[in-house]
Amino acid sequence: MAKSVVQNRALSVRQPYAEQIMRGTKKIEYRSRSTIIRDRVYIYASKTLTTREKQAYKKMKKEPGDFPVGVLIGTVDIVGCAGGPGDYEWHLANPNRLKKPIKPDNHPQPVWFKPFKE
């Protein structure tokens, strides 16, 4: 299967979930809205940290700060979306970690944003 071209689109995901996506262990991203996007997109590791993420770090036997935040860390294909209002599963495949994290040109947004100036 040929790799698709990465669009100038990034999905913000909190750590350690962004790391799990890059490792291929998180294949579903839960969101309150559906998406029609079926493209290769960047994964932006958000700086936001809540109690829920702290618990996820503990499950991984890691600590906040063990993974990069505030940068694009890789790409992933969005291959599908299922679910109902308020509870959607975005299906992810083919994660590819960047050799070096990239700081986006544009200010990140909670879900989608264009990381590079056009």
- Would you state the pLDDT for residue 69? 97
The answer for residues whose C-beta is within 8 angstroms of residue 55's C-beta and 6 or more apart is: none
Domain made up of 6-106: CATH architecture:
Roll (2.30)
Q: Which helix (H) or strand (E) holds 17?
A: helix 17-23
Output Rg (C-alpha) for the chain, integer angstroms: 14
* Coil, helix or strand at residue 51: helix
pLDDT in tens, 62-118: 999 999 999 999 999 999 999 999 999 999 999 999 999 999 999 888 889 999 987
- Would you state the pLDDT for residue 3? 55
Whole-angstrom Cα distance, residue 42 to residue 59?
25
Percent of the chain with pLDDT strictly greater than 70: 97
Determine contact, residues 57/14, Cβ cutoff 8 Å: no
**Residue 58: pLDDT above 60?**
yes
Q: How confident is the model at residue 1 (pLDDT cuts 50, 70, 90)?
A: very low
